[in-house]
Structure 1
Amino acid sequence: MSGERLSLLIIGGYGTFGGRLARLLGDEPRLRLLIAGRSLEKADDFVAELRSPKDGSEGLGSSNLGATLQAVRFDRDGDLAEQLTRLRPDLVIDASGPFQCFGQDPYKVVRACIVLDIDYADLADSTGFVASIGGLDAEAQAKGVFALSGLSSLPALSFAALEAMAPRFSRIDAVAAGIAPSAHVKIGLNVVRAIASYAGKPVSVLRQGRPALAPGLIEAMRVTIAPPGVTPLKSRNFLLVDAPDLALLPGRFAGLQSSFTGVGTEPQLLQRLLGLAAGLTRRKLLPSLTPFARLMQRASHGLAVGEHRGGMFVRLSGLDAAGQPLACGWHLIAEGDDGPFIPVTGVAALVRRLLGGVRPESGARPATGELRLEDFEAEFRRFSIVTGIRAESEGASLPLYHRVLGSAFARLPAAIAAMHPGEPAGSARTASGRARVERGSGWLARIVARLIGFPPAGEDVPVTVRFTADGEKEIWTRQFGDKSFHSQQLEGKGRDRHLLTEVFGPFRVLVALVPEGERLRLVVRGWRFCGIPLPLFLAPGGETYEEAREGRFHFHVEIGGRLTGLVVRYTGWLVVE
């Protein structure tokens, strides 16, 4: 099909996912996009908006619009043969849903496409729909067309990440995956209805290698999404959801012991309330949460607080080639409004492969293994989306900063990496240089500085830092002139996972390590006083980083807060002795 014009019928083309797919493919001049739905008026309005979006409209603009757009009416409950024959698409993409609610004949659109020699793909996330589409395989092969189901985050993207990590293992025992949408994303009603349909209901999973039932939106797993070298998402609980992965994984990994797919929404308080409501369904006090789907959607939109970032993870555990325990995780973080485009990147990648002459094999099947992780990442480059893999259990023997940064440690400039090589337990090393020290003048700033032991203000102050290894932590003793103070640095655990923890007296500060060019930025993500969590907006802030400048290690440390103002700022350079 390379060089030819491709006609796509997008069912639900002006909806939540179909609309984003049209925006993502709108720059391709070799495409004819039929924006389809039951309402021709809504389709017309969407096409008009896509051609000339208003200021601030979501997603990709129209400046690069090259595809031919046409609004059409399409009713999946109408005469499918007549509609498809009249529209003559090369590929039908079903972006409607919820697929869990397609009734007694869920595959009628798929069968109509096969009969008319039309290729088919969808964004289904319904376990039954995706897992059972193989029943049409013989018909599709006989006609020489493909029908791919589940070209979404779960299972197409999750399986692509899984396949990228699988070669590291000789045996895989457990697989877990989860999606963490930004609290500011306007979740579509069909998505909410799909989730509500299995809230509190039994979900098929694997436990100790055997099929088991676990309650949807009740069973939980805590995960911190943290691509190497990126400020992690806030640690959160993921509630079990019914996703196609759970049905498809046993066929991919013989002997798999455990499986889990979840969603981790913010604010977590709202998610806890959802879990409590699911408990009512589990105890038969409510037949279903589906009648409350619109209320759930409004609550989600009304409680949009926190960071405008979303993410996803896929985690495997088992044995490596040497038979040693290994855990490996693929992490993704998307900034702002870019996250909601992730579910449609698989279809976009499929379409671009078709335009390049690469066609899937004929047949009807789940879309797992159809695309590689590289295919998705090519689409991610259009957005502020970062991904990375952490070989998590391999870090146990690595130095502290290696463990926290993961593979991003290799991106550090040599002068910074040399300052964090790690030492055998009980050993120490020293670096010395010069510094400039500033102190805050506020009374509260002076109390905090005195409590921790920060040095007095001074110019061209001699400074020495002694790094002492003590098990898995490091003790940093800083000597500014005749004044010294020390802190402990260690790797965060539990909900502080993938963060560097630094302890100053009664204060514990949680820091993300973020390489940026010649700098290593230290971004405060939380803090505690005597073990008590304190509000992040009151945390000690300021620009803090390590920097390689003309081959020498430089530091810039600024500590202050809303209540204290500037406490201390010290800048300078060090050379390892």
Structure 2
Amino acid sequence: MKILILGGYGTFGSRLVRLLANESQLTLLIAGRSIKHAEDLCNKLHGYAATTCALHFDRDNSDIEKQLRFIQPDLLVDASGPFQSYIKDPYRVIKACLTTSINYLDFADGSTFVQGVTQFDAQAKENNIYVLSGASTCPLLTATVVRHLAKGLTRIHSIKSGIAPSPYAGVGVNVIRAIASYSGQRVALIRRSQQTFSYALTETMRYTICPPGHLPLFNRRFSLVDVPDLKILPDLWPNIDSIWIGAGTVPETLHRALNGLAWLVRWRLIPSLTPFAPLFHWVTNVVRWGEHRGGMFVAIEGNDRDGQKQERSWHLLAEGDAGPFIPSMGIEAIVRRVLDGKKPASGARAATMDLELDDYEKIFQNHAIYTGQCESRKTNDFSESQPLYQQLLGQAWNHLPPSLQTLHSKNIVKVVGVAQIERGTSIISRCITMLVGFPKSGKNVPVQVVFQRETNGELWTRTFADKSFSSWHTKGSGHSDRLLMERFGPFTFGLALVVTAGKLHFIVRSWTLFGIRLPVFLAPHGDFYEFDHDGRPCFHVEIKHILIGLIVRYHGWLVPTV
């Protein structure tokens, strides 16, 4: 199968090439205006299974049909863009593909461009080819996830989605140009069941991306973006009440600065941010800090067959360099389906119905990408009737050993056991242990934990020999959403519940003093987890500080009392 990739050495095109380079059935024609850049990428892929070839190809040339007839690809992928700037004859590549009967895919994220592709549907069917636009994260992955979440629901009321790239993702200049072109400009969307408009990057919301049982991203600020989903998804769900799609870029300081500039455009103090795109591109690729992790969420509200309102959300977490490849994975999945004899139906349309979530999941498994789903019912006490830890863990609760599930169930009010305890030796650590009430060093120290479980949280009272201390556990909200909040006196810690290999890890993600948020890097840290041994719940707690060293370390086992 011969694939011509326009912009094949660019941000999205090169990643698609790398994703497909291990497929021996493919010939990848890396094309663009710079033959040197195309050749450089081909040289880097020497030794891979796919055949690669560099081509000079200018999509703006008048003889584009002649070029296609000479090359004769089975599929053309337009990875150039930005599609928002295709003003004069924006569909010239598609028209050339129709004339030469060549299948077509693109990464388009321009709402008008993607929606307008349907005008070529009859001609594409007549030529028995497929023309799929927007075969990227938006709208393909978003629509695929919504269809998955909507199973069993009789109606969807709202859709919210957001992409949270890593600060080290390496955003291409064309992506920056696209964002700059619509920042502060009017964006058509559905709200309260009515077609209305807002202004891009002037509306914001906060959200925490957290596949159940995984370390969540820090709570992010998302801003409204102009993507095809806002126009395409209402065609799939005509009775939708509202749709909102956002981007959650970090560092948040730069994000807020962009919000401010978008307001200047909205107030017509400046006409557009497009002239600043090169500067924005430089800043985003130089001024960056934080975790090298990204993610995505899709959340819907709807009614099930019993008429009960449900909230369902799908979360994706991408570690390291895996995230930037996700926009290219939709086309990768389509190509692999074609190789398996599953060619998309003929016609021209937005690529919203051509993949299932399983197609993506198969590809995610080959990368450091993790997904999960959360669900809650809003009109009854379904989630509130569950134990606190089960509410926070969601699907990951089922991966806990039975002894840990029992420990955190509502039926257990007291457990007893034995612990080994080691205190820090510095003066400051001793003062802290005395202030909090941590136990003294000792071996085979008797332990008792009493749980006072209430509707809004749990009070844990731990007694080591004759020394007791208590903490209050609740569900986090706002900046601490999806975290377990544990309060010791004036200090409150936001803990992520992470399940790996049957262990339940507690990882500090936030902390406050008298409600004032403090820098996370200054928070106490250590190795804190629960596990099962011979059917008994066991614990290992190590609390350290970057400036103090060890504060306390204790481990042992527990058994419920009758």
**CA distance in 2: counterparts of 1:175 and 1:168, whole angstroms:** 16
2:364 to 367, 371, 380: 380
1:406 to 394, 404, 411: 394
1:124 to 73, 98, 108: 108
1:282-431 to structure 2, matched below 5 A, reads 282-393=266-377, 395-423=383-411, 429-431=413-415
SS of 1:89's equivalent in the other structure is coil
SS of 2:213's equivalent in the other structure is coil
**CA distance in 2: counterparts of 1:395 and 1:496, whole angstroms:** 18
Q: Deviations over 1:458-511 (max 9, x none)?
A: 110000111111222011111100111111111111221111111111110111
**CA distance in 2: counterparts of 1:456 and 1:526, whole angstroms:** 27
Does the 8 A contact of 1:199 with 1:217 survive in 2?
yes
The equivalent of 2:459 in structure 1 is 475
The equivalent of 2:487 in structure 1 is 503
1:537 to 521, 526, 529: 521
SS of 2:226's equivalent in the other structure is coil
**CA distance in 1: counterparts of 2:145 and 2:158, whole angstroms:** 14
Q: Give the drift of 1:336.
A: 0.5
1:207-356 to structure 2, matched below 5 A, reads 207-356=191-340
Structure 1 portions without partners, runs of 5+: 1-5, 52-61
Percentage identity across aligned positions? 46
**CA distance in 1: counterparts of 2:444 and 2:49, whole angstroms:** 60
1:96 aligns with 2:80: yes
1:77 aligns with 2:60: yes
The equivalent of 2:10 in structure 1 is 15
SS of 1:418's equivalent in the other structure is helix
Letter of the aligned partner of 1:396 in structure 2? E
**CA distance in 1: counterparts of 2:534 and 2:152, whole angstroms:** 38
Does the 8 A contact of 1:511 with 1:525 survive in 2?
yes
Does the 8 A contact of 1:437 with 1:456 survive in 2?
yes
The equivalent of 2:159 in structure 1 is 175
SS of 1:281's equivalent in the other structure is helix
**CA distance in 2: counterparts of 1:124 and 1:380, whole angstroms:** 22
SS of 1:269's equivalent in the other structure is helix
The equivalent of 2:49 in structure 1 is 66
The equivalent of 1:32 in structure 2 is 27
Does the 8 A contact of 2:413 with 2:450 survive in 1?
yes
Q: Deviations over 1:491-543 (max 9, x none)?
A: 11122111111111111011111111121111111111111111111111011
**CA distance in 2: counterparts of 1:514 and 1:329, whole angstroms:** 18
Q: Give the drift of 1:46.
A: 1.3
Q: Give the drift of 1:207.
A: 1.2
Letter of the aligned partner of 2:324 in structure 1? P
Q: Give the drift of 1:50.
A: 2.0
SS of 1:186's equivalent in the other structure is coil
Total equivalences in the alignment: 556
**CA distance in 2: counterparts of 1:520 and 1:277, whole angstroms:** 44
Q: Give the drift of 1:125.
A: 0.8
Instruction: Quote the RMSD (CA, aligned, Å).
Output: 1.1
1:49 aligns with 2:44: yes
Q: Give the drift of 1:104.
A: 1.9
**CA distance in 1: counterparts of 2:25 and 2:367, whole angstroms:** 22
Does the 8 A contact of 1:329 with 1:392 survive in 2?
no
The equivalent of 1:3 in structure 2 is none
**CA distance in 2: counterparts of 1:381 and 1:480, whole angstroms:** 44
Does the 8 A contact of 1:222 with 1:236 survive in 2?
yes
SS of 1:395's equivalent in the other structure is coil
**CA distance in 2: counterparts of 1:494 and 1:536, whole angstroms:** 16
Letter of the aligned partner of 2:398 in structure 1? A
**CA distance in 1: counterparts of 2:385 and 2:102, whole angstroms:** 55
**CA distance in 1: counterparts of 2:181 and 2:93, whole angstroms:** 22
Q: Give the drift of 1:550.
A: 2.1
Q: Deviations over 1:536-559 (max 9, x none)?
A: 111110111001122221100111
Q: Give the drift of 1:320.
A: 2.4
SS of 1:151's equivalent in the other structure is coil
Q: Deviations over 1:60-101 (max 9, x none)?
A: xx5xx1001100111111111111011110000111100011
SS of 2:211's equivalent in the other structure is coil
Does the 8 A contact of 1:332 with 1:386 survive in 2?
yes
Q: Deviations over 1:24-63 (max 9, x none)?
A: 0000000000000011111111111222xxxxxxxxxx5x
Q: Deviations over 1:264-285 (max 9, x none)?
A: 0111111000000011111111
Larger CA deviation: 548-557 vs 133-142: 548-557
1:571 aligns with 2:555: yes
Does the 8 A contact of 1:201 with 1:282 survive in 2?
yes
Does the 8 A contact of 2:212 with 2:372 survive in 1?
yes
Does the 8 A contact of 1:316 with 1:328 survive in 2?
yes
2:89 to 95, 102, 105: 105
**CA distance in 2: counterparts of 1:8 and 1:549, whole angstroms:** 54
**CA distance in 1: counterparts of 2:255 and 2:450, whole angstroms:** 45
Structure 2 portions without partners, runs of 5+: none
Q: Give the drift of 1:422.
A: 2.4
SS of 2:496's equivalent in the other structure is strand
Q: Give the drift of 1:199.
A: 0.3
SS of 2:301's equivalent in the other structure is strand
TM-score (normalised: structure 2): 0.98
2:177 to 163, 172, 193: 193
Does the 8 A contact of 1:395 with 1:406 survive in 2?
no
Q: Which runs of 4+ in 1 moved over 3 A?
A: none
The equivalent of 2:136 in structure 1 is 152
Letter of the aligned partner of 1:520 in structure 2? L
**CA distance in 1: counterparts of 2:207 and 2:72, whole angstroms:** 46
Q: Give the drift of 1:168.
A: 3.6
Q: Give the drift of 1:397.
A: 2.7
Does the 8 A contact of 2:384 with 2:455 survive in 1?
no
The equivalent of 2:538 in structure 1 is 554
Q: Give the drift of 1:392.
A: 3.7
Does the 8 A contact of 1:444 with 1:564 survive in 2?
yes
**CA distance in 1: counterparts of 2:548 and 2:474, whole angstroms:** 26
